[in-house]
Chain A
């Protein structure tokens, strides 16, 4: 359904996303993991050309065979929300504070489908019910809801036009743990029922492990490892993935809670990137070749790939 090939996003001389490629079929869930600033949100927004004009996007984003990056403007707007919608992070500012939530959910329905206002309102009520928000509150304003409820409303809104793909950008960040679990469960149920494809972005590996079948780990604008989520976390092949997995204690495994390790150093500034592996300065097992060799995703197992020279050399973790 979705095929991304060699996606590059740059702001002037700085490259925020470099050579990202992946695929997604209907009903599949893909998680994008990484630290803040690694380019995951930028990459996700670029799929629907939602970045500001200062961003230069190159590559191919094939959605049902159609390249969204070169599609005509009207066609792109028709695809937006109708076929692919977005659940944004921080639902407070993502919802218009001076319009009712019902209004905001009706808006894409009225825009994309040929229905009248009454039918749109009915559908809005159904959606609100489905996400666990009382339908009679459709006339309330965003500030009248709690953080968890607003995220549910965002989800309801994303489902409004029955899309084939949902991009969820940090949907549970800034929510507390209990609410987080509820939202994830809700999202999971809805997605499974309707067979929607999901790209979920988060810096929280635990969240992604719960929701997604496959994972792609990003670092400094590149994908450094992909594979089935469980395997990636239990048996990471890229040093960065290893560090990430160690930093998030697994619930139920007392040993991992005892020593969550941090990662020394800071992520590189986009402007400083050159040849070689961007992770090399912080990598414990770096060699001379790491700094000069052009990195690619090399196969590291069944349905897995990692951008590390050690994988080439056949060394396991």
Chain B
């Protein structure tokens, strides 16, 4: 286990460096690139020159670069992500509010997509070239080629116009309190949209994994023992094929983030993605910066978990 501890330390260090780079890039984009951040911030609001000057002072925009960067890093690590003029609230407050719904949507979608994708990928790869395989592969390819938000809109038109499912939001405002069943009804369409777009990735990953395993010698041993084909697939091929998939699954989870933004926008699902969409209107730079950092951090965490999970699951690697 000592080796594991050292590996963990290495990976954590790498993650920290990654996060630091994220902060640098965030700083470059949001503090350095805008020609006049103060003007962008207050776009749409009538502000006098004196107020602009005061803002500039307040935000330390005339300070030397390195000082601005350090205070930015310091603030971020303390959890102070800036102030949103659009919402008149601290960015961190907004993020905290919207985190829950996003986790709910992403969590459910991810779980369903992974389960569905892995199962379909396993069956398709096992019988490569079969009708099942071709249909699954064709569907995966088509769904990948479709813009997520468009699929969302189509589903909205198809299901909410006839009144089958709600048209957006997370819950019915007319209901007192939060009814889990009501939330569940609102969850159906956004979740379905996400699943349809992302399950394809898992199908592809698992399918090629199984195809790689199919020629393995131990499968011949399993068959020679008299096991039925389905058992050979389930008990021998699948566990081995899953291993390389695990890493990919976690890494793809990081890309779920992109889906979150578009799906939440279409369905007005009150999560981080919708917050980002709203931030684009002005554009609300501090808010955008805040969400950018949060999204990046989540991807870094996911990649870290991916690596750790793989090491934990593969007995060959575990021993080291």
> A residues touching B (Cβ–Cβ < 8 Å)?
45, 48, 50, 77-82, 85-86, 88, 90, 93-99, 107-108, 111-112, 141, 143-144
Contact = CB atoms under 8 A, between A and B. Distances in A.
Given A81-B225, A96-B222, 16 more contacts: A45-B220, A77-B226, A85-B225, A88-B221, A94-B217, A94-B220, A95-B221, A96-B239, A97-B240, A97-B315, A99-B239, A107-B225, A141-B316, A143-B315, A143-B316, A143-B319
A98 B315 contact: yes
Top 7 A-B pairs, shortest CB-CB distance:
A80-B226, A93-B217, A77-B226, A96-B218, A108-B225, A81-B225, A94-B217
Contacts of B239: 96, 98-99
A48 B224 contact: yes
A80 B218 contact: no
Contacts of B319: 141, 143-144
A93 B226 contact: no
B131 interface: no
Interface in B18-65: none
B228 interface: yes
B181 interface: no
Contacts of B227: 77, 107, 111
Contact of A98 (B221, B222, B224, B243): B243
B185 interface: no
Contacts of A143: 315-316, 319
B220 A88 contact: yes
B224 A50 contact: yes
B216 A93 contact: yes
A86 B222 CA distance: 11
B240 A86 contact: no
A78 B228 CA distance: 10
Nearest to A167: B224
Interface of B: 216-218, 220-228, 236, 239-240, 243, 314-316, 319
A107 B234 CA distance: 14
A45 B319 CA distance: 34
Nearest to B237: A96
Contacts of A50: 220, 223-224
B217 A88 contact: yes
B226 A78 contact: yes
B228 A77 contact: yes
A93 B314 CA distance: 16
Contacts of B220: 45, 50, 88, 94
Given A94-B220, A97-B240, A98-B243, A80 B225 contact: yes
Interface centre among B218, B225, B243, B319 (most CB of A within 10 A): B225
B221 A82 contact: no
Contacts of A80: 223-226
A80 B226 CA distance: 5
Contacts of A112: 226
Contacts of B223: 50, 80
A141 B240 CA distance: 13
Contacts of B240: 96-98
Contact of B221 (A78, A94, A111, A141): A94
Contacts of A45: 220
B315 A141 contact: yes
Nearest to A73: B228
Contacts of B216: 93
A108 B223 CA distance: 10
Contacts of B222: 96
A53 to B, nearest CB: 11
B226 A81 contact: yes
21 contacts: A45-B220, A50-B223, A78-B226, A80-B223, A85-B224, A85-B225, A86-B224, A94-B220, A95-B221, A96-B221, A96-B222, A96-B236, A97-B218, A97-B240, A98-B316, A99-B239, A108-B225, A111-B225, A141-B316, A143-B315, A143-B319
